[in-house]
Amino acid sequence: MLCSKEKTKGKHLWIRTIGSSVVGHFLDTSIFLLIAFFGIVEFNELLLMILIQYLIKLGIEALCATPFAYLIVSKIKKKINE
């Protein structure tokens, strides 16, 4: 793995959560929009749609999912250390 928990010594969860989403969101967004809209909208518009949706997904990941992951990990670590 490019940035595994072992390589980061258990730190930098945000790099791991967002980093894993960079490729996944790009592939998901690109494949879906290409299948759904290829030949229906102009290619430049399609590329713009891919870019905008990709950035929105990464923004949601950074602003919502990553803080939620920190919260869950914190709760699990507290439970383990009780």
- 56-81 pLDDT tens trace: 999 998 888 888 888 888 888 888 88
The whole-model pTM stands at 0.72
Residue 3 scores a pLDDT above 70: no
pLDDT averaged over the chain?
85
C-alpha distances in angstroms, 68 versus 8, 12, 37, 62, 79?
A: 20, 14, 33, 10, 17
Q: Which residues pair with 41 in a beta bridge?
A: 38
